[in-house]
Amino acid sequence: MKRTELGRTGTTVGQVALGCMLMGTYTDEPTSYRMLDSFLDAGGDFLDTANCYCWWHSGGAGGDSEELLGRWLARTGHRDRVFLATKVGGIVTDVPAALVDGKADWDVAARHFEGTGADVVRHGIDASLRRLGTDHVDLYYVHVDDLTTPLEETLEALDGIVRAGKVRYIGWSNVRTWRLERIRQLADRHGWAAPVAVQQQHSYLRPAPGVDRTGIAGPELLDYLTHHDDLSLVAYSPILQGIYDDPARRARHGMWTTYTGPDSEARLAAVGKVAADLGVTGNQVALAWLLHQRSPRVIPIAGTRTWGQFEAFLPALGVELGVEHLELLAGAGA
């Protein structure tokens, strides 16, 4: 696996992060360990989790993924081989209210996020460190941008845990561009730790006209990150839960409604042509396209639930897109 710099920190990480969200709940422990071991064997080191993963499968407060990673790290002694990222702000304080017939109601969940007040940040990192069985994490994200807490309070608390050695770098997720700029200005003014990464949903397909979601990297944010390369874009759902290869899956998948339309149909056709030319899958082409991006550079998160999905993602690391294929993909759309 190739490596890439995180922002302009001088720290390099594997070009793809492994999403550990479902480890310990949907994905059982032996399979999770197998994925983690194989990811390191393939040259990967960037592991992504959060303190709330994943309450919607466990019915609890979360922490299952962090606990599993803690057991794996204790068993293997690999803490010095991984770049460990976790998050604060996404715990739901009333899980029963947010679960309807066993499924997450995200509108309700959004009204019960823990927020990012100073006490939440300070207690949150300590709880995450206990579950992970380590004395620090490498990257600590604000998981859900909290519009009710003064940014100064959140940033000062984050700076405090960086100075205490509990966190190396901070990041932000699901954030508007204007807020990101405000965060950076305040950090610069007060000498506080500033974000080096922003984690948003991002893929080859573009959202349909009129879709405006905080968590999706839109044109404005992509342009901002192109001109501020001290921030890395870490892309979650880079293959949109596998909708590039299976029309039937797209038709029944809730995520497809965000992207459906002529633009996506044209871009799916381009993916299909490139995949046929290279003898690979559409999902692998979409992931390879992200790895070829330079404006801005992208670190995709491969969130694999099963061993089969893990095996399917690895070949994308070796997919080389030539100039003609990159031009075809870049020019496709309505």
Active site amino acids: 53
Output the 3-class SS for 20-87.
CCCECCCECHHHHHHHHHHHHHCCCCEEECCCCCCHHHHCCCCCHHHHHHHHHHHHHCCHHHCEEEEE
Report CA torsion sign: 64, 69, 74, 76: positive
Angle between helices 323-331 and 262-278 (to 10 degrees): 160
The DSSP-derived string for 271-325 is HHHHHHHHT--HHHHHHHHHHT-BTTBEEEEE---SHHHHHHHGGGGG----HHH
The SS3 call for residue 265 is helix
CA–CA gap between residue 179 and residue 200 (Å, rounded): 14
CA–CA gap between residue 156 and residue 158 (Å, rounded): 5
Tokens found for residue 304: 């694999």
**Contact between residue 61 and residue 31 where contact means Cβ atoms under 8 Å apart:** no
CA–CA gap between residue 218 and residue 209 (Å, rounded): 11
Determine the residue type at 42. Answer: A
Contacts of 183 (CB under 8 A, 6+ apart): 151, 155, 172, 175, 194, 195
CA–CA gap between residue 40 and residue 62 (Å, rounded): 25
Report residue 293: phi and psi, to 5°. -75, 140
Residue 212: CB atoms within 10 A of its CB come to 9
